[in-house]
């Protein structure tokens, strides 16, 4: 639960404050990634967001661009970043010189102080209608990777593309998972790329959509990780107690059907909206709290899927904040764990702090996180 400093810490004695900061230092990492979208006009500054996420011990953040303000705000922290190249860059990135110039401008100036681990090239391209854009995708990924090799960064930063769940032709039973036949020529080349570069396959999964479209057929408890009868794969006899794990295993099966068994699958987006239009069934704060809260618990337990029990699932939750300028139905603006003022949209036990005061990167570089927290407390208290 987020608590604003001004309303909380003024009465605390210094001894208690010291214990308070030690508590944060010893708190375990959430083990989950967060999507940090910025399609809004009321979000806190990146330096305040940096403070919030570190107080939550979130160590992995995914951006949709390479915002220099964000990368600078997280300098000298333990937070790992996925940064993004928009679809509008794809044609240019197939040119090695342009790809290298982009990395030299958007990655190299920050990489020494802010840990960048992945560059996503485009987003959900294969389920769009632009055939030419689809043809640009793999050459763009290859161009960015070659540029990383040339700059000596390919062992530290991998290249991937977040897919929509719409690339799947079949998802149940999971052992029969398959990709759409009309996309096979694109996906086959991308899978070869992942093998060659030892990079993961990224996909966005939202069980919310399945429930919203068929609320009378899809059991709500099954999509919310609540106790339920589950489903059994008739081919493998593996039992699934939630939809997300079944979806992940379906992707593994689809990849295997194309001849590969050594490509890890990561969920680059998943989440549940706290509000929606009248026809968006299930979009409530209660359901969002159950979905994300139960998912967090499973992540902390390092759970794997039934087909990959020894491989902990890797997930980036969507999203950090509600984004008031996102187009589309109301749900699109209500996926956030937090309101822009740092107040939790619902309570799932997260306790973080969004300072009212802004701190420059220089100040953050000069002080450790605990020292900065104490300094803020001291200033407000006195």
Q: Who has greater pLDDT, 29 or 194?
A: 194
> What is the rounded CA–CA span in Å between residue 259 and residue 237?
23
Does residue 28 carry a pLDDT above 70? Answer: no
- For the cut 60, the answer to whether the pLDDT of residue 152 exceeds it is yes
Q: What is the pLDDT of residues 338-360, one digit of tens each?
A: 999 999 999 998 777 788 756 54
Cα–Cα distance measured from residue 3 to residue 5, given in angstroms and rounded to the nearest whole number: 6
Burial 165-179 (b: 16+ CB within 10 A, else e): bebbbebbbbbbbbb
Range 44-54 average pLDDT: 96
Q: Can you say whether the dihedral through the CA atoms of 149, 153, 156, 158 is positive or negative?
A: negative
DSSP alpha helices (H): ranges in the chain? 14-26, 46-55, 68-73, 90-93, 96-106, 108-111, 131-150, 184-197, 207-213, 220-223, 243-257, 285-300, 361-366, 369-381
pLDDT over 90 at 367, yes or no: no
Whether 26 has a pLDDT exceeding 60, the answer reads no
Q: To 10 degrees, what angle do helices 369-381 and 14-26 make?
A: 150
CA atoms of 262 and 102, how far apart (whole Å): 30
- Kindly report the average pLDDT of the chain as a whole number: 89
Q: What percent of the chain lies above the pLDDT cut of 90?
A: 82
**124-152 average pLDDT score:** 98
> Which residues does the annotation mark as catalytic?
124, 269
Beta-bridge partner residues of 170: 178
Q: What is the pLDDT of residues 105-121, one digit of tens each?
A: 999 999 999 999 999 99
Residue 159: predicted pLDDT:
98
Average pLDDT over residues 284-305: 96
pLDDT higher than threshold 90 for residue 124: yes
Give dist(CA 83, CA 64) in Å, integer: 6
pLDDT of residue 364: 45
| DSSP-derived pairing of the beta strands 265-270 and 201-204 | parallel
Confidence band, pLDDT 50/70/90 cuts, at residue 32: confident
Per-residue pLDDT at 378 exceeds 60: no
pLDDT attached to residue 352: 78
23 pLDDT exceeds 70? no
Q: pLDDT value at position 355?
A: 81
Comparing CA positions, the residue from 310, 312, 305, 315 lying closest to residue 233 is 305
Q: What pLDDT shows up at residue 4?
A: 35
Mean pLDDT, residues 127-137: 97
Q: Whats the size of the chain, residue-wise?
A: 382
| 2-11, 112-121, 328-337: segment of lowest average pLDDT | 2-11
Q: Which residue has better confidence, 372 or 15?
A: 372
pLDDT at 311 over 90: yes
pLDDT band at 370 (very low <50, low <70, confident <90, very high): low
What pLDDT sits at residue 288? 98
pLDDT at 110: 98
361 has pLDDT over 90: no
Sign, CA dihedral 160-260-296-324, equals positive
Higher pLDDT, 380 or 105: 105
What does the pLDDT read at residue 129? 96
DSSP 8-state assignment for residue 354: -
Confidence tier at 230 by pLDDT (50, 70, 90): very high
Whether residue 85 is predicted with pLDDT greater than 60 in this model: the reply is: yes
The pLDDT score that the predictor gives to residue 141 is 98
pLDDT for residue 241:
98
């Amino acid at each position: 639960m987020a608590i604003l400093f001004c309303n909380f810490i003024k009465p605390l004695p210094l001894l208690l404050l010291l214990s308070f900061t030690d508590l944060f230092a010893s708190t375990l990492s959430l083990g989950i990634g967060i999507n940090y979208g910025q399609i809004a006009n009321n979000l806190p500054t990146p330096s305040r967001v940096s403070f919030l996420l570190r107080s939550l011990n979130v160590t992995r953040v995914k951006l949709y661009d390479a915002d220099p303000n964000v990368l600078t705000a997280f300098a000298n922290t333990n937070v790992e970043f996925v940064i993004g190249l928009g679809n509008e860059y794809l044609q240019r990135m197939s040119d090695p010189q342009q790809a290298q110039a982009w990395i030299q401008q958007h990655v190299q100036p920050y990489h020494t102080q802010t840990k960048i681990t992945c560059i996503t090239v485009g987003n959900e391209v294969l389920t769009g209608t632009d055939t030419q854009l689809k043809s640009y995708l793999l050459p763009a990924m290859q161009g960015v990777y070659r540029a990383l090799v040339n700059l000596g960064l390919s062992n530290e930063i991998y290249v991937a593309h977040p897919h929509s769940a719409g690339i799947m032709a079949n998802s149940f039973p999971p052992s029969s998972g398959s990709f759409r036949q009309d996309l096979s020529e694109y996906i086959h080349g991308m899978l070869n790329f992942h093998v060659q570069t030892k990079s993961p396959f990224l996909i966005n999964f939202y069980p919310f959509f399945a429930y919203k479209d068929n609320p009378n057929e899809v059991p709500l408890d099954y999509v919310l990780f609540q106790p339920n009868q589950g489903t059994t794969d008739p081919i493998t006899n593996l039992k699934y107690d939630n939809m997300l794990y079944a979806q992940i295993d379906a992707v593994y099966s689809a990849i295997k059907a194309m001849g590969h068994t050594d490509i890890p699958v990561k969920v680059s987006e998943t989440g549940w909206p706290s509000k929606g239009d009248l026809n968006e069934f299930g979009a409530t704060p209660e359901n969002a709290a159950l979905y994300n809260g139960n998912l967090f618990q499973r992540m902390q337990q390092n759970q794997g899927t039934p087909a990959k029990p020894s491989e902990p699932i890797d997930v980036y939750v969507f999203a950090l904040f509600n984004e008031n300028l996102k187009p589309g139905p109301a749900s699109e603006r209500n996926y956030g764990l937090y309101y822009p003022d740092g107040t939790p949209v619902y309570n799932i036990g997260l306790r973080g702090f969004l300072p009212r005061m802004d701190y420059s990167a220089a100040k953050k570089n000069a002080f450790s996180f605990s020292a900065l927290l104490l300094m803020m407390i001291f200033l407000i208290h006195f």
